Amino acid sequence: MDNPTLSNLAPSRLALVWCLFFLICFSLGYPTLNRYAPDTAAATAEWPYASLADTRYYSSIIENGFMEEPDSHWRYRVLVPYVAKPFYMLSKGNIGSWNPIFFSLLMTNSLFVASAALFLFLTGAAVTGSKTVGFISSLLCLCHFNISNLYLSGLVDSSELFVMIFTAWLVSQQKWRALPLVAVLAFLSRETTVIFSSGLAFFWVMVDVGRGDYRRPEIFSILFYIFSGLAIGLGGLMLLHYVGTTELVMPWNFGAKSGLSSASLDVGMKALMSSKGVIYSFIWLLPLGLLGIRSIPKNWLWSSVLLTGVALALIVIANAGDNAGRPLFNTSGPMLLVAAAVYITKLLKLERSS
């Protein structure tokens, strides 16, 4: 917030912007309340693990709690279901024809997406020196395919998107001490969020180190906070598994525990190359982002590129298929959204951005 471009953004104004984003999110996700059931919309006999099929597990956690669920990797993604639980308890029997489970999920996911959009606005404005770019990047985020069709449809990826954008804002403002606290949100969100958020911070600072931006004592201090966050995140995942199974599961066995590591690399690569989710996620975002990418600071650009490489490797190993669009959007999307906003701002001559 030390950036002069942001100096006149009072908390009350930011609160109004957040309320606007929240209402947009709620309207985008409204069809889940009584027009279709996300937990059955995409599950078929041919493909029982389609994108929205995950919602049945999160819905069950809201109704029955963590301990009543059978062991699976979905079981440990507790942040969104447990934030949604109070909304479910208050709305059950009081909202007419609206589905109370998906109302609670929509409220929670709207909270996370609206917060992600707000911090994308702050990050975009800070790194480009333009509030116009920051605001357009937030609107582009809310208009993205994944937001209305997936993140506001009963899944938990909204929390991962928030953690990733919040992490980008923290490291852009050099608030390294907050990373261990972010790690708590990360391991409660989903298992990949721990790796992605820590990886973003690590790659970011390595790019800065390569450019000589830090002295040695500063580097050690920053790395301490990054690896402390990683340790807290992995330790938190181990604790969740222990509470759920009374077994001590090592982090490198999480994928094997959920059966994700059994797919061959060939099958995983073919599934990635034919993924409709990737096409839908990047059909306009990638070309627009590439047109404005020169305005993105090198630390954010290369950390996003390297992190997306990590995500691609995990996607191939896990044979994510059509689900590949979500992790790739969470790792590279925020940076590309700001780059696209820069290009649109220049194209329409809305403002002379730096």
Residue bearing tokens 């357009």: 136
Give the residue extent of every domain in the chain.
10-347
Q: At what angle do helices 179-189 and 191-210 cross, to 10 degrees?
A: 150
CB atoms within 10 A of CB 212: 7
User: If the chain, 354 residues long, is cut into consecutive pieces of 10 residues, what is the mean pLDDT of each piece?
Assistant: 58 95 97 86 58 86 83 88 96 92 97 98 95 97 96 96 98 96 96 96 95 87 96 95 86 58 72 90 98 96 97 89 92 98 95 57
**143: helix, strand or coil:** helix
CA distance 232 to 188: 11
- Strands, DSSP E only, in the chain? none
Q: What pLDDT score does 257 carry? A: 42
Tokens of 253: 């066995």
3 touches 126 (CB < 8 A): yes
**Residue 264 CA to its chain's centroid (Å):** 27
Q: What pLDDT score does 184 carry? A: 97
Q: Residues 85-124, buried b or exposed e (16+ Cβ, 10 A)?
A: bebbeebeeeeeeebbbbbbbbbbbbbbbbbbbbbbbbbb
CA distance 227 to 2: 26
The dihedral built from the CA positions of residue 168, 109, 22 and 11, taken in this order, carries a sign that is negative
CA distance 332 to 261: 24
